[in-house]
DNA sequence: TATCAAAGTGGAAACGTTTCCAGTCCGGAT
DNA sequence: ATCCGGACTGGAAACGTTTCCACTTTGATA
């Protein structure tokens, strides 16, 4: 395990003290040219490499950043993690990666472990930022951290997309095509504050626009019979002309289920997704969706943490990067969204007691907000 | 940064030596009930937590495993990493994650960094296992490591799918439907030994079956104009009745490009992918593909490393988990593969000077091999 | 020639653990 | 009463660095 030479070994071989060796190899402090030469040769011949563990113990900095996401199976998180990793690596930091499986209990435990491991900073996506116990434990600690995907909470900065604004944009898109009776399809509704925020934002936007209250459609997280669940759900909810899915995978599964019932997309049902994953553009029909930039979230979270570490190093505990109000997003039109069928339009109006009296068509384009 | 109490602090508060505190908190060594009580109370009141860095320096074990994959954007690697992480976490190990971006130079540098960080073991996917410099550096070191996705090489065990067998199965599938003039579509051909092995295996199987030599179709890795590249390529290669794509994403993009030209799938072109990603089943037409189990690779790599660590601990350097010959895979039929059109059949025969004299239809079902 | 600053050097303390070892205390057996 | 072995204890030495500090050397200045 420890076949590597130590400073002491190099010092012995070079015929000097370990302090000198350290100075040479770190390039700091005064050393004579002769010493430098001998040390470098000795280090070379012994194949010396620093022991980062010892360095970390001495310097109190592990050059390691903890990263917690719910899962890597959702490409949104994978993209963010990859960008984060690349960003911090450039500054010499490594990433310790953990997945919580959307479980708040594991979340807290994992954060504890990462602290114990002496990470220099943390980038997190938690189930529910407002109530996260792990995040709370972090609040009083002088440990730089920030959130990804979650809306900012508990004093932590965050790199996220404003789910309410994005959902308002979805409502507009449906409204523009005449869809007023719509549903919101969610997979892990109670384990993801993002999903809940999307629904809340969507509900509010529908209300503002005078659309019917959207129906919340929850499915279990079992993969195998997802198609069956969706088919059954669709049969029961045939009066909906549009469905907003809480992510693109769900949207794609929904489209397939609808087609399996013989429905035509978008004639019989319009679908809008969320995330903007690549395959959405490749499939037929292409998927209308909200395009976000998860890599940007990871990258910016990385920059934030590096800046905080830098400041902590040189200045006081001053935090130079201000928390921001949400990253940009874009509505990407697609073949899965079309105009409402005339018979459904009248149907829905008739069946909508919730319709407010005036249709305030405020044309707010959410993507322009930031 | 170091607001946490140390053993010394606890010892002072409990009125005993640090050795006793260590014994209590580690649950090993003889301690009186009275001491234990006092120590536990002191630790509790001070909110003591172990400093894992110091522990690592002392014990020469970081309880950390290095993980290197080309990218997380390909869900295949994301799945494997997630499974690996879950597996090793259960044994108290953490994962340091790095991405090489398919770059052999970065690969070697990253492996060096991970070694320097004193990881206890390594799980790697390299560009080319046979020639990887990083892997070579590992060979003489007593550092447990194994490969994922790569075929075993340089004495390292590997968890992978036999690309040649899988490709033979693809050849069979095409052959069964009468496709004899086919192509192999690759994105990062020279940076991925998997891709090359798939092509070689496919070429060989085609030869064995008396099909025409498959055409190698390479596209650049630029995302934006991938569609254009594919369209152009398809127009030039209209004589091909089937294309085997080196991964599912490429297959999906290819299908879209073909449709954009007005081609019908599978009537005008049959497509088979590789990996078996989820969306392949959800889209229309569903994608015929080789289904692999990347999570299993990650999981088994994790078990392998844990076993090696266990053995290294208790016994000698004996390695209890034998390298295996490849994980199982499965051919999943899909709507993207159909019978060859009769005119293309004759066309292709006529245009195929490479056809060997006898058609040896050895019906080897690759998926049954393991 | 005497004095001094600067440059170079290495010993030693620290970082927070684990663990060896040499002690102290006890009760029970001689 | 004496001895002995076991249970318990805490001092101290590692682990491999960084860094402070006090000590040489040197060359230049007065």
3-state helix, strand, coil split of chain B in percent (to 5) is 45, 15, 40
**Residue at B1 is within a domain:** no
Task: Examine the domain organization and report whether B109 and B206 are in the same domain.
Answer: no
Q: Which nucleotides of C are covered by protein (CB under 7 A)?
A: 7-12, 14-21
Q: Say yes or no: A247 and A303 in one domain.
A: no
- Name the H helices within chain A: 7-14, 18-26, 33-46, 52-59, 75-89, 104-116, 133-139, 163-176, 193-209, 226-236, 248-260, 279-282, 294-314, 342-350
Could you tell me the residue range of the domain that residue A41 belongs to?
7-50
B242 belongs to a structural domain: yes
Confidence of residue B342 (pLDDT cuts 50, 70, 90): confident
Q: Are residues B364 and B271 in the same domain?
A: yes
* A291-347 confidence digits (pLDDT tens): 999 999 999 999 999 999 987 765 544 444 555 668 899 999 999 999 998 776 644
Do A217 and A351 share a domain, yes or no? yes
| Chain segment A29-82, per-residue pLDDT in tens | 889 999 999 999 999 999 999 999 999 999 999 999 999 999 999 999 999 999
Q: Rounded CA gap, B176 and B197, in Å?
A: 22
Sign of the CA dihedral with A115 first, then A120, A126, and A129 last = positive
Specify whether B157 is located in the same domain as B168. no
Same domain, B264 and B175: yes
The Cα A315–Cα A46 span in angstroms is: 39
Based on DSSP, count helices (H) and strands (E) in chain A, helices before strands. 14, 11
% of chain B exceeding 70 in pLDDT? 88
Q: How many CB atoms lie within 10 A of CB B322?
A: 8
Q: What is the CATH number of the domain that holds A179?
A: 3.40.50.2300
Rounded Cα gap, residues B286 and B281, in angstroms: 5
- Subunit contact A282:B94, Cβ cutoff 8 A: no
Q: Give the range with max mean pLDDT: A168-177, A254-263, B28-37.
A: A168-177
Tell me the average pLDDT across A78-101: 97
Does a structural domain hold residue A334? no
- Ranking A174-183, A218-227, B4-13, B78-87 by mean pLDDT, the lowest is A218-227
Note the pLDDT of residue B284.
Answer: 80
Mean pLDDT, residues A277-300 taken together: 92
| A99 burial level (CB within 10 Å; 0-12, 13-18, 19+) | buried
Q: What is the pLDDT of residue B1?
A: 37
A157 CA to C15 C1' distance (Å): 31
The shortest C-alpha distance from A208 to chain B (Å) reads 34
State how far the Cα of B139 lies from the Cα of B156, in Å rounded to an integer.
8
Q: CB A53 to CB B56 under 8 A? A: yes
pLDDT band at A210; cut points 50, 70, 90: very high
Reference B271, options B292, B250, B291; nearest CA is: B250
CB–CB contact A252 B95 (8 Å): no
CB contact under 8 A, B85 and A64: no
Assess if residue A307 is contained within a domain. Answer: yes
- Check residue A73 and give its pLDDT: 92
| Helical (H) or strand (E) element with B75 | helix B75-89
B354 and B260 fall within a common domain: yes
**Confidence at residue A142, expressed as pLDDT on a 0 to 100 scale:** 87
**B318 pLDDT higher than 70:** no
pLDDT at B202 over 50: yes
Cβ proximity of A163 and A194 under 8 Å: yes
CATH number at residue B37: 1.10.260.40
Chain A residues 54-73 with Cβ under 7 Å of strand C are: 54, 57-58, 60
Note whether B239 and B197 are within 8 A (CB).
no
Point out the residue among B2, B85, B99 whose CB comes nearest to the CB of A60: B2
Task: Return the pLDDT at A346.
Answer: 45
Decide if A193 is inside a domain: yes
Contact A97 B95 (CB under 8 A): yes
Residues above pLDDT 70, as percent of chain A: 88
- Percent of chain B whose pLDDT exceeds 90: 77
- B185 and B127 fall within a common domain: no
Q: What is the DSSP letter of A357?
A: S
The verdict on A357 and A224 lying in the same domain is: yes
Q: Classify residue B2: in a domain, yes or no.
A: no
Which residues of chain B have a CB within 8 Å of the CB of A2?
60
Would you give the DSSP letter of residue A291?
E
Check pLDDT > 60 for residue A239.
yes
The DSSP element (H or E) to which A121 belongs, if any, is: strand A121-124
Residue A327 lies in a domain: no
- Give the length of chain A: 370
B18 and B81 in one domain?
no
Q: Using the predicted structure, report yes or no on whether residue B368 has a pLDDT greater than 90.
A: no
pLDDT digits (tens, 9 = 90+) for B248-298: 999 999 999 999 999 999 999 999 999 999 888 888 889 999 999 999 999
Predicted pLDDT of residue B366: 34
In chain A, whose CA is at the least distance from the CA of B254?
A282
Residue A362 has pLDDT above 50, yes or no: no
Confidence band for A352, pLDDT divided at 50, 70 and 90: very low
Q: Is the CB of B51 under 7 A from strand C?
A: yes
What span, in angstroms and rounded, lies between the C-alpha atoms of B101 and B191?
Answer: 10
Of A299-313, B9-23, B100-114, which gets the smallest average pLDDT? Answer: A299-313
Residue B303 shares a structural domain with residue B237:
no
Give me the number of domains chain B comprises. Answer: 3
- The token duo for A89 is 């690596």
Q: How close B144 comes to chain A (CA, Å)?
A: 10
In 3-state terms chain A splits into helix, strand, coil percentages (rounded to 5) of 45, 15, 40
**pLDDT score, position A238:** 83
Is residue B73 located within the same domain as residue B154? yes
The answer to whether residue B356 sits within a structural domain is yes
pLDDT tens digits, residue range B138-184? Answer: 988 889 999 999 999 998 999 999 999 999 999 999 999 999 999 99
pLDDT at A357: 34
The per-residue pLDDT for A347 is 45
């Amino acid at each position: 395990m420890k076949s590597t030479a130590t400073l002491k070994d190099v010092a012995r071989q070079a015929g000097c003290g370990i302090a000198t060796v350290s100075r040479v190899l770190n390039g700091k402090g005064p050393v004579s040219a002769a010493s430098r030469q001998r040390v470098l040769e000795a280090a070379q011949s012994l194949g010396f490499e620093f022991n980062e563990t010892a360095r970390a113990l001495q310097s109190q900095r592990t050059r390691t950043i903890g990263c917690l996401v719910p899962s890597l199976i959702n490409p949104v998180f994978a993209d963010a993690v990859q960008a984060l990793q690349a960003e911090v690596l450039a500054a010499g930091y490594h990433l310790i990666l953990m997945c919580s499986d959307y479980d708040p209990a594991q979340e807290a435990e994992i954060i504890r472990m990462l602290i114990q491991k002496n990470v220099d900073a943390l980038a997190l996506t938690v189930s529910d930022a407002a109530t996260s116990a792990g995040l709370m434990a972090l609040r009083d600690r002088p440990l730089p951290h920030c959130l990804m995907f979650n809306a900012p909470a508990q004093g932590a900065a965050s790199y996220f997309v404003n789910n309410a604004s994005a959902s308002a944009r979805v409502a507009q898109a449906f409204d523009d095509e005449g869809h007023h009776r719509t549903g919101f399809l969610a997979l892990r509704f109670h384990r993801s504050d993002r999903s809940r925020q999307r629904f809340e934002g969507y509900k509010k936007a529908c209300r503002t626009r005078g659309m019917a209250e959207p129906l919340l459609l929850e499915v279990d997280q079992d993969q195998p019979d997802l198609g069956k669940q969706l088919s059954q759900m669709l049969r029961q909810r045939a009066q909906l002309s549009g469905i907003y899915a809480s992510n693109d995978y769900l949207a794609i599964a929904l489209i397939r289920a609808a087609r399996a019932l013989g429905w035509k997309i978008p004639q019989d049902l319009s679908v809008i997704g969320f995330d903007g994953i690549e395959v959405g553009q490749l499939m037929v029909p292409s998927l209308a969706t909200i395009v976000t930039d998860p890599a940007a979230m990871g990258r910016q979270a990385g920059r934030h943490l590096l800046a905080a570490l830098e400041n902590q190093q040189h200045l006081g505990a001053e935090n130079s990067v201000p928390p921001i109000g949400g990253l940009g997003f874009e509505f990407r039109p697609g073949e899965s969204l079309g105009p409402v069928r005339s018979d459904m339009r009248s149907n829905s109006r008739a069946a909508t007691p919730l319709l407010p009296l005036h249709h305030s068509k405020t044309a707010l384009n959410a993507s322009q907000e930031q």
